Chain A
Amino acid sequence: MQEITRDTLISRAKELLASGEVDRVYGWKRGEFCYDVTPALFTDAESLEKDFEWGDFCGANLSKYLVEETRKSEGKILVFMKPCDTYSFNQLLTEHRFDREKVYVIGTPCAGMLDPKRIRDHAESFTSVVSDENGVTVSTLFDGDVKLDRSEVMPDRCLNCKSKKHVAYDELFGEDGGTIASGRFDEVEKIEKMTPDERFEFWRGELSRCIRCNACRDVCPACTCEKCVFDNPNSGVENKAAENSFEEQMFHIIRAFHVAGRCTDCGECSRVCPQQIPLHLLNRKFIKDIDGFYGEYQAGAEVGSRAPLVDYTTEDIEPSDAVKGGDENA
């Protein structure tokens, strides 16, 4: 259950549309089921009333859509943002990807989203999901109602939320929170402690499921290049289902490397992956290393900060000293 209701957001959006302050609204739209919510653009009060959605399945980060949308006209766009989305928003501003003046941001507090994939693990063929202070009630087609604890069905990104604080907004609903010392590197550490062979097996198991749909790239707010290496037929990792194991690894190393230092750890890549590949564990490895080697850095925490990979000091760690895996039995 989210603290702010859908109606509150809709009525504020309508006000801003009516006053002419904004001429478009970026929000979420409900699909056929309660859990298939997609980002959507609204231009009038009626469609807002009809389709606008705010709730446990509004995980989509709307910041990347602003890059294209702000170029379409001079008018202002109203956009709703959860705390984690505002980091991506700032990172895009740092990279001069859109004009801040054309956006009106309303910050919405977030109680953590729910992950339909995890719900499915507990409740086959579910049709509706209702959440309140006591937890989540899932109605299923064949097994009646299933009661679950919220933490059982939240995605990793929300279980290990790094911040409930909005780092960018024009208007804020509810109370703003603070940053959280989450256990987001615990999983990374677990993998680091494995032997090299175990690590290789672990990642082969995960990455070999990849179908190269490129959804992780497409959704990532840090991936906003207009020409992408993965579309270049000479790159050796062009768009297509990987033919062999190497391509999967190469794709994933390159994808993660291209956003290293700029990834805000928003978790969108893992959210959209149809194969449930824990992509955030690759990004977080880079974040953890960067924190360890060059000092703590949170991409998107402020506009204009210098990303670690376009910076240096004369005392930086040598690559040969950087590799400190786990158990040395290789």
Chain B
Amino acid sequence: MSISKEPYRPLIVAFCCNWCSYAGADLAGNNRLAYPADVKIIRVPCSCRVNPTFILRAFQRGADGVILCGCHPGDCHYTSGNYYTRRRMALLFSMLDYLGIERERTRVEWVSAAEGAKFAATMNDFCETVASLGENKRLEDLRCKK
């Protein structure tokens, strides 16, 4: 007897800032631009709300890729939030790489409210990249896996 396995789909967590990227995702939806349902969006007030622990926690709970989207530098609703994000994530990603964790699993992308097309394209691209890497084995917590 053979057991049919469903094709592997990655689980992607996308943190989107309320003012730009979340609206960008909305616009993508309104324009009927397709992006994979593997992307689970978490809305945050500002990209800077995302503590590095959130990203690690997402991996711990089974995400295969984590992407963080915010307003373009200079366009932050709170003036400077995304500049702090940029520093934090630069250091965090470099550290993950230093620990030998695939760098393609994390990404930061600046997406404005008017860039529905960019949002969809980014998600398509990111999903593809993560899918090609396969399951996240290096940063997972087995207890959290279903």
Interface residues of A (CB under 8 A from B): 191-192, 196-203, 229, 235-236, 243-244, 246-247, 249-250, 253-254, 256-257, 260, 282, 285-286, 289-290, 293-294, 308-314, 316-325, 330
Contact = CB atoms under 8 A, between A and B. Distances in A.
Given A282-B98, A316-B87, 14 more contacts: A246-B60, A246-B140, A253-B99, A293-B87, A309-B91, A310-B84, A317-B90, A318-B108, A319-B107, A320-B93, A322-B93, A323-B94, A324-B94, A330-B102
Given A253-B56, A319-B86, A325 B93 contact: no
Interface in B21-68: 52-53, 56-57, 59-60
B77 interface: no
Interface in B114-139: 138-139
Interface of B: 52-53, 56-57, 59-60, 73-74, 80, 83-84, 86-103, 107-108, 138-143
B87 to A, nearest CB: 6
Contacts of A316: 83, 86-87, 90
Contact of B91 (A200, A250, A286, A324): A286
Contacts of A244: 141-143
Contacts of A310: 84
| Chain A interface, DSSP helix/strand/loop, else mixed | helix
B90 A318 contact: yes
B97 A325 contact: yes
A235 B141 CA distance: 13
Contacts of A293: 87, 90-91
17 contacts: A191-B98, A196-B102, A200-B100, A235-B53, A244-B143, A246-B60, A253-B92, A254-B56, A257-B52, A257-B91, A286-B91, A289-B94, A316-B83, A318-B86, A318-B108, A319-B108, A323-B93
A254 B59 CA distance: 14
B99 A246 contact: no
Nearest to B56: A250
Nearest to B110: A318
Nearest to B83: A312
Contact of B95 (A229, A286, A309, A321): A286
B99 A200 contact: yes
A235 B60 CA distance: 11
Given A246-B139, A254-B52, A257-B52, A199 B100 contact: yes
Contacts of B83: 312-314, 316
A288 B18 CA distance: 34
Given A235-B53, A250-B56, A309-B91, A192 B98 contact: yes
Contacts of B93: 319-320, 322-323
Contact of B108 (A282, A313, A314, A320): A320
A323 B101 CA distance: 11
Contact of A236 (B57, B91, B98, B107): B57
B95 A203 contact: no
Contacts of A294: 87
B89 A319 contact: yes
B90 A319 contact: yes
Contact of A323 (B53, B97, B140, B142): B97
Contacts of B89: 319, 322
A282 B88 CA distance: 15
Given A236-B57, A285-B94, A198 B100 contact: yes
A63 B98 CA distance: 30
B141 A246 contact: yes
Contacts of A290: 91
A286 B89 CA distance: 12
Contacts of B100: 196-203
Given A203-B99, A308-B87, A229 B94 contact: no
A199 B99 contact: yes
B57 to A, nearest CB: 6
B52 A253 contact: yes
B95 A257 contact: yes
B2 to A, nearest CB: 32
B78 to A, nearest CB: 13
Nearest to B99: A203
Contacts of B90: 289, 293, 316-319, 321-322
